[in-house]
Structure 1
Amino acid sequence: MARLALSAIVMMMAFIAFTEGLRGVGPKKCCFKFNDKPVLENKVVSYSRTSQRCSNPAILLNTVAGRQMCVRPSASWVKDLVTYLETKNVAGANSNL
C-alpha cells in the first residue's frame, strides 16, 4: 500500500514538473492584430519589441493611460516614434549627470 501511494506521489510530481516546464517554452507576448493609426508622441511612455520567436514582428507601445498596443515596426510613423523615444531617453539620462 505504501509503495502504491509513493508511486502515485512520484507520478504526480513528475506530471507537475513537466507541465510547468512547458509554460516557459514560448514567448510571453506576440501580436496578431495591429494598430495602423499613428499615435502621438505625448501619448507613449515607452516601447518594447516582441520576441523573435513570434510569427509577426511587432513593437509594443506602452501608453500614458497604461495600455499596450501592437504596431508594425516597418511603418514610417513607428520608426519616427521609436527614434523620438530613444532620443528622449538618452537626453533624460544625460540630464541626470
Structure 2
Amino acid sequence: MAAPRLTLAVVVLMLAVVALTEGMRGAGPKRCCSRFNEREVKRDRVVSYTKTSQRCSNPAFLLKTVTRRSLCVRPSAVWVKDLIIYLDAKSVPGKTSNL
C-alpha cells in the first residue's frame, strides 16, 4: 500500500521539478544570426538596428532597412561600428558623438 503512494509522490515531485526548471529558463531569444551580411550597407538604407540576445551563440546586430528587410551583421566590422555611431547620433537630435 505504501509503495504506490511513494511512487505517486516521486512522479509528482519529478513533474514539479521539470515544470519549475522549464519555467525558469524562459523563452529563448527571438532572433539569432547564423549567416552574416559581409557587404557594407549604405547609411541612408538603414532605418534602425537591434542587438541580438546574449543567449545567441554569435553576437550580431540586426539592421532594419528602408525596405523592411533585416540583415545580420558582425559587430566587429569597422563599417558596422561607424554605422551604429551614426544611427545613435541621428536618433538623439542635437547630440554629436565624441568618438
TM-score by length of 2: 0.68
What are the ranges of 5 or more consecutive residues in structure 1 without an aligned counterpart? 1-16
Which protein shows a greater Rg?
2
The answer for the alignment partner of 2:84 in structure 1 is: 82
Specify the alignment match of 2:57 in structure 1.
55
Aligned position for 1:29: 31
Where do 1:31-46 residues align within 5 Å? 31-46=33-48
* CA-atom RMSD in angstroms: 2.4
The percentage of aligned residue pairs carrying the same residue is 62
**Separation in 1 of the partners of 2:39 and 2:66?**
17
Q: How many residues align?
A: 76
Mapped to 1, the partners of 2:87 and 2:81 lie a distance apart of 10
In structure 1, what is the Cα distance between the partners aligned to 2:48 and 2:76? 18
Partners of 1:86 and 1:44 lie apart in 2 by 12
Q: Matches of 1:52 and 1:92 in 2, distance apart?
A: 31
| Alignment partner, residue 67 of structure 1 | 69
Which 4+ residue blocks in structure 1 deviate beyond 4 angstroms? none
Unaligned runs of 5+ in 2: 1-18
